[in-house]
Chains A and B, each alone.
Chain A
Amino acid sequence: MKIHLKIWRQKDQKAKGKLESYSLNEVDAKMSFLEMLDMLNLQLAKKGERPVEFDHDCREGICGQCGVMINGIAHGPLKKTTTCQLHMRSFKNGDTIYVEPFKSKAFPIIRDLKVDRSSFDEIIAAGGYISVNTGQAPEANSIPITHEEAESAFNSAACIGCGACVATCKNASAALFTSAKITQFANLPQGKKESKQRTVNMVNRMEELDFGHCTNTEACQVECPQDISVLNIARMNYEYNKAKLTK
């Protein structure tokens, strides 16, 4: 099928970006969205033009590296799907597709569709871990935990950190990401020990970075490829208030 593309081109962080138009003739419906971009880049390379740069890694929907705004929606029209798992069968012959990078102050554009999401890493570095002495792996069943607790923690831990929540939020808030990381630990006995300090540190780091606040519009969960629940945000607020009130 024939696909028209309007892709955000930006030379570097400081340059002014704009949409450029491209057309592809023999796009296969079985192609993934990123394979379609590969096809475009092959054509551009053959013509000696600079290829469109975009982030990607596993192309299996689990690493969280890919992610662009497709027709004004993070990861495109299909819900609970990353950009790499979106296929061209979701589009029709002759469609025009707008492709833009995730835009927020905390995610500066490096080039074209590639954005710097290291602010997420900084939030993790502030406390998104459990302090343990390294050594042999302990016996798995020495700490009893219910199936429900384990599942609930896993649901939060399913966040792949792609940044679609920030790109979708009208306030560019990182509340869904940060709260998922806080909740996954707060739900487990191993994580509970450091919960107070972790919550305060991660929330404070999030505040220092250029993210907005959460107004509970719930748009983040709708566009999240992993369907991370907005109730994680309420849990973060609860953990933060508890930490502050029982200091």
Chain B
Amino acid sequence: MWFIKNAITRKNLMALTGLFLCFFLVIHLLGNLQLLLAPDKAQLQYNLYSDFLSNNILIKIISYVLYASILAHTIDSIYLTIKAKKASGSPYVRDRRNRASKWYARQMMLLGTIVFAFLVIHLKNFWFTYKFGILPADANGNKDLYGLVVNSFQDLWYVIFYSIAILALGFHLLHGFFSAFRSLGLYHPTYDKLVKSIGVLFALAITAGYVIIPFYIYLNL
């Protein structure tokens, strides 16, 4: 990636990896919504689903694209942020430039950092334990990931931490979704408005979807 000098090309990379991650968020959420089924049904179905995902070759290939996207998106953002820091001159003594833009549009790096930190903890708790840890088997003989998820969300602090991270993700999407299309060159005013509206709905749906699950588990199970 260091060989890409041009910022527009780099922003294209940010946009494409970002949109792929948006696509992943939808698939991941659809899978996780199975957690909201009746407990005994949810346990068997969710564990079967997880087992299917971890043994499917096509999913395996896509998962490597996913890891690569996360890394490319992160590294590229660090590179661009450092470049932008160098481009800004000495700070203004009186600075009220923030009246002209949304706070979450200016704080994409901060929001992204929260999401990344969350991702590391999230992968360690679930993905790593599922792949390399020891989990009891359910009635069908599949690893009981459902049990691990339900246990994790018994801790209120974990539910709060999880929700804050999802909220950060929501704001990141609120700016990132339409911004990706702009970076790729969508300049038509009508479609730009359409994409902006879809972006707001998308950010809302993803935030609500991911936040409902831990609260449902904490309050009901």
Q: Is A98 an interface residue (CB 8 A)?
A: yes
Given contacts A105-B86, A170-B84, contact A238 B185 (CB under 8 A): yes
CA distance A214 to B97 in the complex (A): 16
Are the C-beta atoms of A213 and B7 separated by less than 8 Å?
yes
A16 to chain B, nearest CB (A): 9
> Is B172 on the interface with A (CB-CB < 8 A)?
no
Given A103-B90, A105-B87, A106-B87, verify A203-B6 contact (CB < 8 Å).
Answer: yes
Contact bitstring A221-237, B, C-beta under 8 A = 1, else 0: 01100000011111111
| The 7 nearest A-B residue pairs measured at CB | A238-B185, A72-B96, A171-B84, A212-B84, A212-B87, A219-B100, A222-B100
Q: Is the CB of A98 within 8 A of B86?
A: no
| Complex A-B: 12 CB contacts under 8 Å | A72-B94, A73-B96, A73-B99, A171-B88, A212-B84, A212-B87, A214-B7, A216-B178, A217-B101, A233-B182, A237-B182, A240-B8
Which residue of B12, B89, B178 contacts A103 across the interface (Cβ within 8 Å)?
A: B89
- Interface residue B192 (Cβ < 8 Å from any Cβ of A): yes
Which residues of chain B from 61 to 111 have a CB within 8 Å of any chain A CB?
80, 83-84, 86-97, 99-102, 105-106, 108
Q: Could you tell me which A residues sit within 8 Å of B by CB distance? A: 6, 8, 19, 69, 71-74, 98, 100, 103-107, 168, 170-173, 203-204, 207, 210-220, 222-223, 230-242, 244
Check B97–A168 contact: CB distance below 8 A.
yes
Q: Which of A207, A222, A237, A244 has the most CB of B within 10 A?
A: A237
Please classify the interface of chain A as helix (H, G, I), strand (E, B), loop, or mixed, using the class held by over half of its residues.
mixed
Contacts of A173 in B (CB 8 A): 84, 87
- A residues in contact with B89, CB < 8 Å: 103-105, 107, 172
13 other A-B residue contacts (CB within 8 Å) besides A212-B84, A237-B185: A71-B94, A98-B93, A100-B94, A103-B92, A105-B88, A105-B89, A171-B84, A171-B87, A212-B86, A217-B105, A234-B181, A237-B11, A242-B185
Given contacts A213-B80, A237-B182, contact A104 B88 (CB under 8 A): yes
Interface centre among A168, A172, A173 (most CB of B within 10 A): A172
Nearest CB of B to A164, in Å: 10
User: Taking the complex as formed, is B10 at the interface, i.e. its CB lies under 8 A from any CB of chain A?
Assistant: yes
A100, B101: Cβ atoms under 8 Å?
A: no
Contacts of A98 in B (CB 8 A): 93-94
> B95–A219 contact, CB under 8 A?
no
